[in-house]
Each structure stands twice: as C-alpha cells, then as structure tokens.
Chains A and B, each alone.
Chain A
Amino acid sequence: MNVFLHRSITAGALAALLCAPAPVRGQTAADAPAYSPPRTPFGQPDLQGIWQALNTASWDIQDHHASLGVPAGRGVVDGNDIPYQPWALEKKRQNVANRAALDPDARCLLSGVPRITYMPYPFQIVQQADKVNILHEYNHTLRHIYMNGNPHPEGPIEWWMGDSRGTWEGNTLVVDTIHVTAETWFDKAGNFHSEALHVVERLTRTGPDHMLYEVTIEDPKVFTRPWKMSMPLYRRVEQEPELLEYECYAYLIEETWPNR
C-alpha cells in the first residue's frame, strides 16, 4: 500500500481543517504578517539557526496553575480542550496521578514528536537540499526530515521520534510524521497518544527572529477528532549562540549508580 499517498490525502483533509475559522488562541499563519524569508543556496526558505520555544508546554500543554517546580502557563492547544475518547480521558487522569513515575522524561527517554520541539532547550536547524535536520540540545536528539522523494517506509515501525517526511507549501515547511511508539507523552501532565499517532507540523517564519510552529494531532485510537497546537518559536539572538549539551540519561545513570 502506498502509505505516503494515504497520508497525503489525510494531510489534505487536515489542511482543510486548519483553514477553518475557529476560536484559535495562538497566532496562526493566516494572522501573521506576510514575511518573505531569505532563501538557501538551493532555493528553499531558510529556516536555519538556533531556535527555542518559550512557554510551559513541556510541563502541560493545557492551561494550568503553578505547582512546585512547575510554572503556571496558558496552554498551546487550540480551544484548550483535548478531545479524548472516554477511556483515554480516564487513562490521562491516571497518568496525572502517577506522573512522577510514568513520565518518560523522568527516565530520560527520547521525547517524541512534537514534545521535543517545546522542551525548554534550544535546537538548531540545518538544511540540505534533500532533508531538513533538527539538532536538539536535549538528549542530543537528532531529527532528519527527509524530502528526497521517498514515501514513509512500510511499517509496522515504532520509532521514538517517528519517521518524518517534509514538503514545502510556499514558505512553510510541512512535516508529516508517523511510525511512532506509544511510549512518549505530549508533556509532563500525562497527555498521551497511541502508536497510531499522525503528526503534521507546520513551520513558518514570521520575521527575522520568529517562527510559527503549528501542529495537528490525529490519533483515532485515542481522540475523537484531530486537534491542534500552535506557538511561536524564538531565535536565540545572543551574539554567538551555541548548542551545548543536556545528556539526560548520563546524568541519571551516574546519579543513581549504587556505588558511585
């Protein structure tokens, strides 16, 4: 079966959804003033540089008050509600109750998509003609978004960061991701998905130092309908910004070594 064709159709349906008027909290591409980003030598919109989300989504993607070690924040989910199926809402509640033990981040596992983007660490985008690479400081995570004409490989595959294929829609990088494990979460608040997750990310530069990040989440096993997140990403404008490292599991293993 042509997985990519199937997904393209789905993506098309989702694109229609994205264009529908909605009580959207975040900025959308339609709201953003037209900005023409510079181009790479191979003619693509240039998204390169070091970027970071500045919000509290990695703690909780929905509106939340503060608690010990958790800053309060407005959510990044359009309309704030996540359309869980009834059983899934109950599981989310259990995840919340046991989040200290269950959060995959507490074991320094790869964050999955889209959570890695709004982890509170910078990332660097490096473009090539046939793929976009995202190098994250967190856990030295490395994403390759292939634009080489290959469709998603045939599954079943369950990768922590999924399989990502990109296309350009005007100045927007559209990233289609499937083949994920069910073991990643969306945040520390127990919001979750299954291995049937399909993520469409849209990255649109809205200025020299800003980029709009929109995400559509589709998972028929967990949700009753697709839903969206959106948030700005900010360029790290320090004079000489540089990714350092956050070797999460190395620190965890060292800290917990019994005879250290």
Chain B
Amino acid sequence: MKSLISAVTAVAALSLLVPSGVAGQGFAQPGRPKGAGARTWRAERATLPPYSPPRLPDGRPNLQGRWGGSSSGDDIEETEQVDPTTPPWESWVSDPADGRIPYQRWAMAERKKHRAGLARGVTGETGERLFMDPQTFCMKSVPRYAQRGYELVQAPGYVVMMLNWGHFHRRIPLDDRPRPGASAQFWMGIARGRWDGDTLVVESTNFNGKMWLDSVGNFASEHVRVIERLRLVEANTLDYEVTIDDPTVFTQAWTLSYRLRRAGTGGGGGAATVNDPYAAESWEHACHEGNAHHVEGARDLGFKWFPGVTPPQR
C-alpha cells in the first residue's frame, strides 16, 4: 500500500518535469474534437429546467457533499494541444465571449514570457527555462483549488471546503467580518461568503499573487479580487462561475464557467465504488513530503522561483 501510494505520487509529480525533448513529435491533430469547456457547459445549462435545491434547517440550499474537479488545470483558454499528454480543449473563459483572457498589453507580454519558458513541450516555447508551475511545489490558490474537487461542508457561520489534494482547506465565514489589511497577503487569500438567493457568493482578496491560474502561466496580481458563484442546478451538478477582477492586469473583469459533478456521478475525483466502504474517505495526499527531489530537479534544470508580477505604475 505504501509503496503503491508513493509510486503514484512520484509519477504524478514526475509528469510535470517531462523534459522538452518530447516537443514537436507530431501530436497536434487539427480537427480533433475538443473537450467540453465553458461554451458547452453554458449551452447545456441553458436547457436545464428550473431546479429548487434541497435545503438545510436554516433554509439555505444544501450544497454539501463531495464534488468532483472543475478541469484538468491545464490552459484555461482554448487549446489545440498543451503538451503530448493533454487533448485539445474548449476555453473555460465564458466572458469575454471569445474565450480569451483580456490581458493588458504588458501583461500579455508577461504571459507569453511565462509560456515560452515552460520547457514542457508546449507550443511556442523557446527552449529556455524560466518558471515552473508553482503547483509543482504543492501550492494552490483560488480558483485553482477546485481543479481536483473537494468536500463542501456548511458548518455554523461557515462554508468549509476540504481538499484531498495536498490537504488544503478553505474556511469561508458568512458574516462579512472585516478583512485583514491589504499588506497581509496569502496564497489562498481571505474569503468572505454570502447568499444571493440560492447562490453562494464567495469573494476573496488578500492574495500574494505567487500562484498561477493554470499550468501554462496565466496569472493575476496580488491586487486580484476573485468572486465565485456556486449554485446547485440539479441534484448532482454545481454551476461554478468565477469572476477574476484585477484592473492592474486586465482590461476588464472576466469570467470562468465550470460544472462540478457530485463525486461518483460522473465527475472527476473519488468515484464511488459500491463494494468499497472506504470509497468516500479522503486518504492522505502528502504532497511536499515526497517532493524534495522534484524541487531539487527544478532548481538543477535552471527554473526560477515565480515571484509574482509587478504591474507598471500608472
């Protein structure tokens, strides 16, 4: 059991360190159907009948349970391919309608620099190494925490999210208490929740700007405000919309649209196996503990630590 779990973790981590030698081996297959992203989900959502969610004793919708992941975590824009192991996919960006992240000119240049320095076989690389996705070092932020799914609990005064991946957790107070000053910055930010009808709205600030939005270098700054909207649209489906608002990096606020499926009902993460009484349990995913040689590997390959971006003074 131990060696199996270790091996799985090692393989998962190692896949992030695939050298650039595999680039350009003809994996691009123009015309290949794309995986379902924001466009497909929004079209499907529009066909759903009105749904009244089950409620807790306090009258709020019951969103509790284990939810599968939002996406692969690779490029959140439309892709023909990211690398040899990643199929073409629709954009997860629903607004603007073209599915493109509305970067300011300088920020787009920055993003291109990140992508050119990935050295993992992504189109447009220079072959030089710049930054590695901070998730390689077991970090998470918002909204990328949702990538592999989580369990949502509605505790008194709080919504709590508990991830298996890297044992991250979010505690979202529902009382609009004052936030720490802007100088206090966190990987996961500071979250406050409220109900807008049957929609849970979570607004997060106080980020440190050191995490990427995906594995290929899309980013926001420490000034970002992330607004998440979660709404049960059928018994086993959460509509998950995320607005990224950072006037120092983007020309406008923009929105990601995801569908989260209840674990075991066709979503990613934690398939319920009928005969396994442990299927609903979240067993330890100790990320950093087995990761020292990958950190060393990244350093030895010449990757730098991503320090966040500094928007130009205006």
A contact set with B: CB distance below 8 Å: 41, 48, 107-110, 124, 126-128, 133, 135, 139-142, 144, 146, 148-150, 153, 155-161, 240, 242-245, 247, 249-250, 253-254, 257-260
Is there contact, CB below 8 Å, between A144 and B307? Answer: no
Q: Is B288 an interface residue (CB 8 A)?
A: yes
On whether A140 and B137 interact (CB within 8 A), knowing A135-B162, A161-B284, the answer reads no
**B171 engages A110 (CB within 8 Å):** no
Which residues from A are CB-within-8-Å of B169?
A: 135, 140, 142
Cβ of B32 < 8 Å from any Cβ of A? no
Given contacts A142-B169, A157-B5, A259-B304, 4 further A-B contacts (CB under 8 A): A124-B171, A157-B1, A158-B2, A160-B286
A155-B281 Cα distance, complex, nearest whole Å: 16
Q: Is A146's CB under 8 angstroms from B175's CB?
A: no
Q: Which 3 pairs show the lowest CB-CB distances between chains A and B?
A: A257-B305, A142-B167, A240-B177
Give min CB distance, B19 to chain A, whole Å: 20
A126 proximity list for chain B (CB < 8 A): 153, 155, 158, 160
Chain B interface, >50% SS class: loop
A157 / chain B contacts, CB cutoff of 8 Å: 1-2, 5
What are 17 inter-chain pairs, A to B, with CB distance below 8 A? A48-B155, A48-B156, A108-B288, A126-B155, A126-B160, A127-B155, A142-B168, A146-B281, A156-B1, A160-B284, A160-B286, A161-B284, A250-B210, A253-B137, A257-B304, A260-B305, A260-B307
B154-172, CB under 8 A of A: which get 1 and which 0? 0110101011001111010
Residue pair A150, B281 in contact (C-beta under 8 Å): yes
In the assembled complex, the CB of A239 is this many whole angstroms from the nearest CB of chain B, namely: 8
| CB <8 Å contact, B155 and A150 | no
Digitize B57-97: 1 where CB-to-A-CB distance is under 8 Å, 0 elsewhere.
10000000000000000000000000000000000000000
Give the complex CA separation of A41 and B62 in angstroms.
Answer: 15
Q: How far is the CB of B119 from chain A (nearest CB, A)?
A: 16
Q: List B residues at the A interface (Cβ < 8 Å).
A: 1-2, 5, 57, 137-139, 153, 155-156, 158, 160, 162-163, 166-169, 171, 173, 175, 177-178, 180, 184, 186-188, 190, 210, 277-278, 280-284, 286, 288-289, 292, 295, 299, 304-305, 307
Residues of B within 8 A of A258 (CB): 299
Which of B187, B282, B286, B304 has a CB less than 8 Å from the CB of A247? B187
- What residues of chain A lie closer than 8 Å to B166, measured between beta carbons? 140
Measured between beta carbons, the chain A residues less than 8 angstroms from B286 are 110, 159-161
Inter-chain contacts of A160 with B (CB < 8 A): 284, 286, 289
Cα A153 to Cα B277 with chains together (Å):
10
Question: Do A249 and B282 touch across chains, with their CB atoms under 8 A apart?
Answer: no
Q: Is A109 within 8 A of B281, CB to CB?
A: no
Question: Contact between A41 and B57 (Cβ–Cβ < 8 Å)?
Answer: yes
**Cα-based distance from A247 to B277 in the complex (angstroms):** 33
Query: Contact: B289 with A253, CB < 8 Å?
Result: no
Given contacts A247-B187, A250-B137, A257-B304, A140 and B168 within 8 Å (CB-CB)? yes
Please give, as numbers and ranges, the residues of chain B lying within 8 Å of A250 by CB-CB distance.
137, 139, 187, 210
| CB <8 Å contact, A249 and B304 | no
Residues of A within 8 Å of B162, CB to CB, are 133, 135, 142, 144
CA distance A149 to B278 in the complex (A): 10
* A109 and B278 form a contact (CB under 8 A): no
Q: Is B173 touching A240 in the complex (CB atoms < 8 A)?
A: yes
Q: In the complex, are the beta carbons of A247 and B281 less than 8 A apart? A: no
**What residues of chain B lie closer than 8 Å to A243, measured between beta carbons?**
171
Cβ of A245 and Cβ of B187 under 8 Å apart? yes
Chain A residue numbers with a CB within 8 Å of B138 are 249
Distance of A7 Cα from B292 Cα, bound (Å): 34
Closest to B292 in A: A107
How far is A51 from B186 in the complex, measured between Cα atoms in Å? 21
